[in-house]
Chain A
Amino acid sequence: MKRRRSVPLVGLLLRLYPARFRDRYASEIEESLGGLLRAAGERGRWRWMLVWLRGIADLLKGAVRERLRSGRGKKPAMESSTMGVGEMMGTLVRDIRLAFRKLRKEPLFLLVAAGSLAIGIGANTAVFSAANELLVRPLPGIPNYERVVELGRTDRGSGFDTFSYPDFLDIREEIPSLAAAAAFTIEIMSVSREAEGVRAAGFHVSPAYFEILGATPALGRFFLPEEDIGVGQHFVAVVSHAFWTERLGRDPDVIGSTLYLNRLAYTVVGVTGEGFGGHMIGFQPDVLMPMAQLPVMNGGRNEFDARNASWHMALGLLSEDATLEGLNTELAALAQRLAAAYPGSNETRGFRAVPLGPIPGGGRSGVRLFVTVLIAMVVLILLVTCTNIAGMFLARAVSREREVAVRVALGAGRGAIVQQLTIETLMVFAVGGGAGIAIGLWGVGLLNPDVLPLPVPVRFAIEPDPRVIAFATLVTLVTGLLFGLLPAAGATAVDVVTSIRDEGRGGGRRAGRARRVFAGAQVGLSLVLLVTAGLFMRSLQRAASIDTGFDPTGAYVTYIDLSLEGYAEESGRAFQASLLESLASEAWVSAASLSIDLPLDLSSSGTAVTPQGWDEDDRLATDFNRVSDAYFETLGIPILRGRSFGPADGPDAPRAAIVSERFGAEAWPGEEALGRTFQLRHVDGQVTYEIVGIVKDTKNQLITESPKPFMYLSLRQTYAPGVQVVVRTNPGAGSASARLREALSAADPNMSVGGVASLETYTALGVLPQRLAAGITGALGLVALLLSGLGIYGVVSYAVGRQQREIGIRMALGADRRGVTMRFVRGGLLMALPGIVIGMVVSVAIGQVLQALLLDLSPRDPVAFGAVGVVLLSVVLLATWIPARRAARVDPAESLRQE
Chain B
Amino acid sequence: MPDLLRPHWFQILLSLSSGTMHGSAIMDEVLERTEGRMKLWPATLYGSLRDLEEAGWIQDSVPPPDAPVEGGKRRFYVLTPSGERVLREELRHMHAILEEARERDLLGDAGAV
Chain A contact residues, CB within 8 Å of chain B: 1-2, 21, 24-25, 27-33, 35-36, 54-55, 58-59, 61-63, 65-66, 76-78, 80-82, 84-85
A2 and B6 within 8 A (CB): no
**Stretch in B13-21, B68-76, B92-100, B102-110 touching the partner:** B68-76
Q: Are B43 and A27 in contact (CB under 8 A)?
A: no
Q: Which B residues between 42 and 58 are near A, CB-CB below 8 angstroms?
A: 42-47, 49-52, 54-55
Q: Considering the chains assembled together, what is the distance between the CA atoms of A63 and B50 in angstroms?
A: 14
Answer whether A2 and B72 are a contact pair too, CB < 8 Å, given A29-B43, A81-B6, A81-B55: yes
- Please indicate the chain A residues that have their CB under 8 angstroms from the CB of B24 in the complex: 28, 31-32, 35
Docked-complex contact A58 and B43, CB < 8 angstroms: yes
- The reply to whether B45 and A32 form a contact with Cβ atoms under 8 Å apart is yes
Which residues of chain A are within 8 angstroms of B52 by Cβ–Cβ distance?
77
| Interface residues, chain B, with chain A CB atoms under 8 Å away | 3, 5-6, 9, 22-24, 27, 41-47, 49-52, 54-55, 70-75
Closest 3 CB pairs of A and B: A62-B43, A58-B41, A77-B55
Q: How far is the CB of B8 from chain A (nearest CB, A)?
A: 11
Q: Is the CB of A33 within 8 A of B6?
A: no
* A55 adjacent to B55 (CB under 8 Å): no
Q: Determine the distance from Cα of A609 to Cα of B54 in the docked complex, in whole angstroms.
A: 90
Residues of A within 8 A of B3 (CB): 82, 84
Contact A58/B44 with A25-B50, A84-B3 known, Cβ cut-off 8 Å: yes
B75–A28 touching, CB < 8 Å: yes
A33→B42 contact, CB < 8 A: yes
Note all chain A residues with C-beta closer than 8 A to B6.
81, 85
Note all chain B residues with C-beta closer than 8 A to A1: 70, 72
28 cross-chain CB contacts under 8 A: A1-B72, A2-B71, A24-B50, A25-B50, A27-B72, A27-B73, A28-B46, A28-B74, A31-B71, A32-B27, A33-B42, A35-B24, A36-B42, A54-B41, A55-B42, A59-B43, A61-B44, A62-B43, A62-B44, A65-B47, A66-B47, A77-B51, A77-B52, A77-B54, A78-B55, A81-B9, A81-B55, A82-B3
> Smallest CB-CB separation from B55: which chain A residue?
A77
B22 CB, nearest partner CB in chain A, Å: 8
Residue in A28, A33, A54 with the greatest tally of chain B CB atoms within 10 Å: A28
Residues of chain B within 8 A of A62, CB atoms compared: 43-44, 47
When A2-B70, A21-B50, A81-B6 are in contact, do A28 and B41 touch as well, CB less than 8 Å? no
On chain B, the residues within 8 Å of A84 by CB distance are 3
Taking a contact as CB atoms under 8 Å apart, the answer to whether B51 and A55 are in contact is no
- With a CB–CB cut-off of 8 A, which chain B residues contact A61? 43-44
Residues in A whose Cβ lies below 8 Å from that of B49: 25
Q: In the complex, what residues of A have CB within 8 A of residue B71's CB? A: 2, 31
* CB of B11, distance to nearest CB on chain A (Å): 14
Given contacts A59-B43, A66-B47, 7 further A-B contacts (CB under 8 A): A24-B50, A28-B22, A55-B41, A58-B41, A58-B44, A81-B5, A81-B6
Closest to B5 in A: A81
Which B residues are in CB contact (< 8 Å) with A29? 42-43, 46
Return chain B residues, CB-CB under 8 Å to A27: 72-73
Per the bound structure, the CA–CA distance linking A36 and B39 in Å amounts to 11
Residue of B nearest to A28 (CB): B23
Enumerate chain B residues within 8 angstroms of A82, measured Cβ to Cβ.
3
Which partner residue on chain A sits nearest B39 by CB separation? A54
Given the complex, which residues of B lie within 8 Å of A2, measured CB to CB? 70-72
Q: How far is the CB of A36 from chain B (nearest CB, A)?
A: 8
Bound-complex Cα distance A29 to B72 (A): 13
Complex interface: chain A residues within 8 A of B46 (CB) = 25, 28-29
B16 to chain A: closest CB distance in Å? 16
Q: Is the CB of B51 within 8 A of A32?
A: no
Give the one of A25, A63, A82 with max B CB within 10 A: A25
Which residues of chain B come closer than 8 Å to A36, judged between CB atoms? 42
A260 → chain B closest CB, angstroms = 57
Residues of chain A with a CB closer than 8 A to B47's CB:
21, 62, 65-66
Bound complex: CA of A66 vs CA of B54, how far in Å? 14
When the two chains form their complex, are residues A28 and B73 in contact, meaning their CB atoms are under 8 A apart?
A: yes
- List A contacts of B75 (CB < 8 A): 28
Find chain B residues with CB under 8 A from A77 CB. Answer: 51-52, 54-55
Query: For residue A28, which residues in chain B have a CB less than 8 angstroms away from its CB?
Result: 22-24, 42, 46, 73-75
With both beta carbons as reference points, the residue of chain B lying nearest to A26 in the complex is identified as: B46
